[in-house]
Amino acid sequence: MEQIILPAAIVLGVYAALSGLTWVQRLVGERLTGRKRGMALNLARRAGPPEAAGVVLLVAGRIAPLPGHGALAALIIAGALAHGFHRGLAEMRQADWRSIGFRLAVTLGLSLAILWQTGLL
């Protein structure tokens, strides 16, 4: 099971990192303080509950030994961040096909390089 979950978590984590960089670039470029606070609040609203669930799963797996809890928690947290950043960019009209295609291509390249270097591929 971890042979599928861990590579998926890595791919989602790389996509979340790339989307997060684009999102932070837009956040820094905003002039209105209220808009910046709204962007941060929307990100916390979207990504916060699944991230909390991933952290709870991670802690529960350490307390009561659950097999594969680390990989599953990583998948949940990476997926939450990827979803939160992607929806945040979609609200700012930054999720057109050209930018998504570029992020997906870079995600695929970096993810394959990471998976190859770690021996998971």
Res. 114 pLDDT band, cuts 50 70 90: very high
Residue 44, pLDDT > 80, answer: yes
Q: With respect to residue 47, please indicate whether it lies within any of the assigned structural domains.
A: yes
Does 30 reside within a domain? no
Q: Does residue 95 lie within any of the structural domains? A: yes
> Residue 114: which residues within 8 A CB-CB, separation 6 or more?
10, 14
Q: Do you know the residue count of the chain?
A: 121
Q: Distances in Å between the alpha carbon of 43 and those of 6, 12, 107?
A: 24, 16, 21
Whether residue 2 lies inside any domain: the answer is no
Residue with the bigger pLDDT between 108 and 46: it is 108
pLDDT in tens, 46-84: 888 998 999 999 899 889 888 888 889 999 999 999 999
User: Comparing C-alpha atoms, which of 94, 104, 92 is closest to residue 42?
Assistant: 92
- 6: in domain: no
Inside any domain, residue 93 = yes
22-26: long-range contacts, CB 8 A cutoff, minimum separation 24: 22/85, 22/89, 22/94, 22/99, 22/103, 23/85, 23/88, 23/89, 26/89, 26/92, 26/94
- How many C-beta atoms surround the C-beta of residue 70 within 10 A? 17
Domain span holding position 101: 42-121
Tell me whether residue 16 is in a domain.
no
The overall average pLDDT reported for the chain is: 89
Structural domain total, the chain = 1
16 C-beta neighbours (distance < 10 Å), count:
23
Mean pLDDT for the stretch of residues 107-113: 96
